[in-house]
Amino acid sequence: MTVRRFDGLAAVPEGQGPTVATVGMFDGVHRGHRALLDRVAAEAAARGVPPAAVTFDRHPLAILRPGSEPPLLTTLDRKVELLGEAGMEVVLVLEFTRELSEVTAEAFAAEVLFDRLAARAVVVGENFRFGHKAAGDPDLLAELGRPRGVEVVAVGLHTDGDQVVSSTRVRGELAAGDVAAAAASLGRPYAVEGEVVSGDGRGRPLLGVPTANLAVPAGIALPGDGVYAGHLRDEGPEGSGEPRGGAPVGREGSATRPAAVSVGTNPQFGTERRVEAHVLDFDGDLYGHRVSVDFHDHLRGQATFPGIDELAAQIRADIDQVRRLLGPR
C-alpha cells in the first residue's frame, strides 16, 4: 500500500479530494488501533474514497507536561509505515505544539478534518477526545459534522479477554519483559531500530561473541533488562537512501537472521543501558548499518558471574537456546 505522507496542513494539496478520516496518536499501531483502522478502510471503500489518518509527531505530554511523556513504541517514520500497512492511503502528520494544544475542538474539526481532508466520514474510538482541554468528544464531532453531511462513527474499544488493548498496556508488558504478551497485543513482535555503532570491544576478543550495538533513538521504549531471542534485520548502510517513511518499501528484501539480544546495563562490566545483538552464524561487518531487532522470547534476566569463563559459558548457552527456538533446523 502506497502512503501519501503530508507533514503539516500546508503540505496537503488543495486538490486532495474527499476522504474518510480518523485521528489519533496511534503509538505502536497495535491490535486496538488496527480494529479502528479496519473500520476506517471499510467506510472509505464503501464511499469510494481514500482512508486517511491524522497523527502527531510526538506525544502531547512532551509539550503539555515535559518529562512526563511515556516512551514511544515506534519512531514517527515507522508509525507512518505501519499506518500504511493497516490500509491508510493518506497520513497527515501534525507537529504537536503548545499552539496546537490550544486550538478549540470546533476549529480543529473544521480546519483539519472537514476542510483540509474533506472528510465524508470520521471514524474515532468511543473514548476519543480532542481540542483544547480535551473538550471535544464523538458526540460533539457528530454535532459539528451533521450540517456538513459528515457521518461520525464511534468504535468500541478493542479488548483481549477482559482487558482493553492499549499503548499503555503494551508498555507495561514490555517493561515486565513479557515480549510474548506485547507481541500478542501488537499483532507482531516488538522491534526497535537504530544504527550499529562501536561498543566496548569486549565481545569478540574477550568472550568470542561479537555483538552489534544499536543506537536506539532517545525516547523509544525498550523491553525490561534481560536476554531475549529475536531477529536482526539488516536494512543497509545508514544514509544509503533506504526509505524510512511513507510506503513500507524494501523491508521484505532485507536480510533477517536469528539473534541473541541483551537489553540493559551489562552488570558484569557496568555500562549505560543499551541493546546488543549477537547474530547467529554471521561474521559480517554491520558497523554503520541501520538495523531492526525484534523480540520473540524472554530467556533470562541480567546477572553477574564469578568470572569471564562462567559468563562466556552462559552466553553460549543463551545462543544455543536461541538456536533451538528460532534458528535453522
What does the alpha-carbon distance between residue 238 and residue 92 come to, in Å, rounded to a whole number? 26
How many angstroms separate the CA atoms of 174 and 73, rounded? 10
Which residues lie across from 190 on neighbouring strands?
A: 295
114-128, 183-197, 306-320: the lowest-pLDDT one: 306-320
Residue 119 corresponds to which cell in the numbers above?
A: 472528510
CB 161, CB 149: distance < 8 Å:
no
In angstroms, rounded to a whole number, what is the distance separating the alpha carbons of residues 87 and 43?
Answer: 12
Burial of 147 (0-12, 13-18, 19+ CB in 10 A): exposed
Give the mean pLDDT of 196-209.
69
DSSP character at residue 171: H
- Looking at residue 254, its pLDDT comes to 65
**What residues have CB less than 8 Å from 169, skipping those under 6 apart?**
163, 185
Give the residue among 283, 286, 279, 289 at the shortest CA–CA distance from 257.
279
Contact 20, 51 (CB under 8 A): yes
* Centroid of chain to Cα 212: 21
End-to-end CA distance of the chain: 34
17 φψ region: left (φ > 0), alpha (ψ -120 to 50), beta (else): left
Chain mean pLDDT for the chain: 90
Quick: pLDDT tens for 162-175: 889 999 999 999 99
Q: For 275-321, write each residue's pLDDT tens digit.
A: 999 999 998 889 999 999 999 999 999 888 888 888 888 999 999 99
The whole-model pTM stands at 0.89
| pLDDT beyond 60 at 269 | no
Please report, for the chain, how many H helices and E strands are present, in that order. Answer: 9, 14
Domains of the chain and any CATH numbers: 4-160 (3.40.50.620), 189-326 (2.40.30.30)
Residue 245 has pLDDT above 50, yes or no: no
| pLDDT, tens only, 95-107 | 999 999 999 999 9
What pLDDT does residue 246 have?
A: 32
| 51-60, 109-118, 193-202, 229-238: the lowest-pLDDT one | 193-202
In a 10 Å sphere around its CB, with 0-12 CB exposed, 13-18 middle and 19+ buried, how is residue 90 labelled? buried
Q: Is the pLDDT of residue 135 over 60?
A: yes
